[in-house]
């Protein structure tokens, strides 16, 4: 939303006066902090295989595939491929089980 100077004066007369007079301004000094270590998981979004690797058995895997397909997060074709692999090779064919603290262990040195 863009405002003209006149619209700003009309809608926010006090704010406009402060901006013109520079009253109510505060100087901000920069704060130097220690650089933090980068988080390798920042922005990471788990995919269907990540969810399947948390399953205990093929039944849970089937539920995950159904759920993600219904939500439109995986295509019907991908769901068919995943189900076929699940039925033929089992839940561990997607990789070893990810335990509850899997990602915390990844962050620790």
Q: Does pLDDT of 23 surpass 90?
A: no
For the record, the structure tokens of 80 come out as 């068919």
| Mean per-residue pLDDT of the chain | 86
pLDDT tens-digit map of 28-43:
677 766 666 777 777 8
For residue 43, give every residue at least 6 positions away whose Cβ sits within 8 Å of its Cβ, in sequence order, or none: none
- Which of 18-32, 36-50, 93-107 shows the lowest per-residue confidence on average (mean pLDDT)? 18-32
Average pLDDT (62-75) is: 96
105, 96 contact by CB (below 8 A)? no
Around Cβ 35, how many Cβ atoms within 10 Å? 6
What are the extents of the domains in the chain?
48-99
Higher pLDDT, 71 or 16: 71
């Amino acid at each position: 939303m863009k405002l003209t100077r006149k619209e700003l004066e009309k809608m926010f007369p006090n704010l406009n006066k402060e901006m013109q007079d520079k009253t109510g301004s505060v100087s901000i000094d920069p704060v130097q902090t220690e650089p933090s270590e980068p988080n390798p998981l920042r922005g990471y979004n788990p995919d269907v295989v990540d969810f399947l690797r948390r399953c205990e058995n093929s039944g849970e895997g089937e539920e995950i595939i159904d759920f993600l397909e219904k939500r439109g997060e995986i295509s019907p074709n991908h769901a068919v491929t995943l189900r076929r692999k699940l039925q033929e090779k089992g839940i561990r064919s997607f990789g070893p089980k990810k335990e509850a603290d899997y990602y915390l262990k990844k962050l620790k040195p």
